[in-house]
Amino acid sequence: MADSMFTVAGQDMAVDLGTANTLVYVRNRGVVLNEPSVVAINTFTNEALAVGMDAKRMIGRTPSYIQAIRPLRDGVINHFDVAERMLRYFIDKVHRRRWSKPRIVVCVPSGITGVERRAVEEAAYQAGARRAYTIDEPMAAAIGCGMPVSEPKGSMVVDIGGGTTEVAVIALGGIVVSKSIRVGGDEMDGRIIEWVKKEHNLLLGPRTAEQIKMMIGSAYPFNDEPGAEVCGRDLMSGLPKTILLTAAEVRNAIEETVSAIVDAVRVTLDNTPPELAADLMELGIVITGGGALLQVLDQRIAYETGMLVKIAERPLQSVVIGSGRCLEQYEVLHPVLASTSH
Ligand code: ADP
Ligand code: MG
């Protein structure tokens, strides 16, 4: 790039370290990387064999000595060294100008501990950061959804990820009320597997279950519901078998998860101070994260809370876009970032 001598800051980057997907945003370039948060490890040598897309393809297909690990699966970092390696791998992949030292903002689940937060910063320094920051996921999501987070007005964001759902009310640049539950898209997949096993004696893999959810999953009945042909292993014969699954069955299977998400929204509304609650009545709730794409989930939440519910424009990207905006508008938004000096 001809102008690279003069745009060192152009490599500043934001990373959304999600439980299901990791995204990287580079200043002035936008989202440049979007891959599953998965690492395949050789358990004999402890070597990482693949990261991201390549590693996700291995889930459920690995020989016994390879383990596909999702280091943030439940919103806490349960495989710390693996998470660190993954973060460094993704940053390295996009950080091309090695002589420039970028600012790096890493968005972390709000449930992680202070120690984990510092270790995430450390991993960013190891990967070449000049300064590393962390930002809480709901704050990043709200900024990415274009909500007026710095104003004296309340905004509510609901981020439904793979391993967690985070509900937060934000005003004056801070989180006023929040609730994080360890329930999200993964649990829906698990419930679909259980249902199909119980009702059809058929064993499904997690990736098939996820595809079914995306294709015909829903939170509320709607017109012309589709069905889907699903292939798994018959538990009686041990052979592959295909069945027809209806949208109503899938909805039943995931109902408990969906109602846990709706309850988290209701509890947070209950705990919201009255002035802010009045703002929410006016502005409505924004839902984001991959789970916001579940069909008619917006209508279900609207029906059960009596609030106006909007789906974010790009649910899978709002967190990384919001973190990226903190770099683009550093002067205005830096108060929402956390950083321990290095
Ligand atoms: P995280 O931030 O935890 O990495 P994401 O926001 O990337 O999570 O969302 C991933 C979750 O969203 C997965 O459980 C995935 O199955 C789910 N998801 C993605 N697209 C859809 C869809 N169209 N319908 C329902 N769920 C979806
Ligand atoms: Mg997320």
Q: According to the model, what pLDDT value does residue 162 have?
A: 96
Residue 298 CA to ligand 2 center (angstroms) comes to 18
Q: Which of 305, 294, 296 is nearest to 265 (CA)?
A: 305
Distance of CA 330 to the CA centre of its chain: 23
Q: Is 214 in the pocket of ligand 1 (CB under 6 A)?
A: yes
Residue 229 CA to ligand 1 center (angstroms) comes to 21
Question: What average pLDDT does the segment 177-184 reach?
Answer: 94
Question: What average pLDDT does the segment 10-34 reach?
Answer: 92
Q: Is residue 260 within 8 Å of 273, Cβ to Cβ?
A: no
Q: Which of 77, 313, 316, 321 to mutate to test the pocket of ligand 1 (most atoms within 8 A of CB)?
A: 316
Report the alpha-carbon distance of residue 185 to residue 195 in Å, rounded: 16
Both tokens of residue 92? 């390295």
C-alpha pair distances (Å), 147 with each of 16, 81, 152, 340: 18, 35, 12, 27
Q: Which of 312, 299, 293, 315 is nearest to 220 (CA)?
A: 299
Digit-coded pLDDT (tens) for 35-73: 999 999 999 999 999 999 999 888 777 788 889 999 988
Q: According to the model, what pLDDT value does residue 158 have?
A: 98
Residue 301 CA to ligand 2 center (angstroms) comes to 19
Q: According to the model, what pLDDT value does residue 341 have?
A: 62
Digit-coded pLDDT (tens) for 152-172: 999 999 999 999 999 999 999
Task: Name residues whose C-beta falls within 8 Å of residue 260's C-beta, 6 or more positions apart in sequence.
Answer: 165, 181, 183
Q: Which ligand 1 atom minimizes the distance to the CA of 185?
A: 14
Question: What average pLDDT does the segment 15-20 reach?
Answer: 94
Alpha-carbon dihedral angle through residues 303, 272, 140, 57, given to the nearest 10 degrees: -50
- Other CB atoms within 10 Å distance of the CB of residue 291: 29
Report the alpha-carbon distance of residue 185 to residue 305 in Å, rounded: 21
C-alpha pair distances (Å), 91 with each of 77, 105, 201, 323: 18, 11, 44, 15
Both tokens of residue 225? 């519901």
Digit-coded pLDDT (tens) for 210-245: 999 999 999 999 888 889 999 999 999 999 999 999
CA dihedral sign of residues 326, 330, 333, 338 = positive
Q: According to the model, what pLDDT value does residue 11 have?
A: 85
Q: Is 71 in the pocket of ligand 1 (CB under 6 A)?
A: no
Question: What average pLDDT does the segment 94-108 reach?
Answer: 84
Over the chain, what is the mean pLDDT?
Answer: 92
Question: What average pLDDT does the segment 284-312 reach?
Answer: 98
Q: According to the model, what pLDDT value does residue 342 have?
A: 65
Both tokens of residue 76? 């806490």
Residue 173 CA to ligand 1 center (angstroms) comes to 27
- Other CB atoms within 10 Å distance of the CB of residue 66: 16
Report the alpha-carbon distance of residue 14 to residue 87 in Å, rounded: 11
Q: According to the model, what pLDDT value does residue 332 have?
A: 85
Q: Is 17 in the pocket of ligand 1 (CB under 6 A)?
A: no
pLDDT score of 1 more than 90: no
Both tokens of residue 127? 């990967």
> Which of helix, strand or coil describes residue 160?
strand
Q: Is 325 in the pocket of ligand 1 (CB under 6 A)?
A: no
User: Among all ligands shown, which has an atom nearest to the Cα of 315?
Assistant: 1
Digit-coded pLDDT (tens) for 103-151: 999 998 877 788 888 988 988 898 889 999 999 999 999 999 999 999 9
Task: Please give the share of the chain, as a percent, with pLDDT higher than 70.
Answer: 96
Q: Which ligand 1 atom minimizes the distance to the CA of 316?
A: 6
Q: Which ligand 1 atom minimizes the distance to the CA of 18?
A: 4
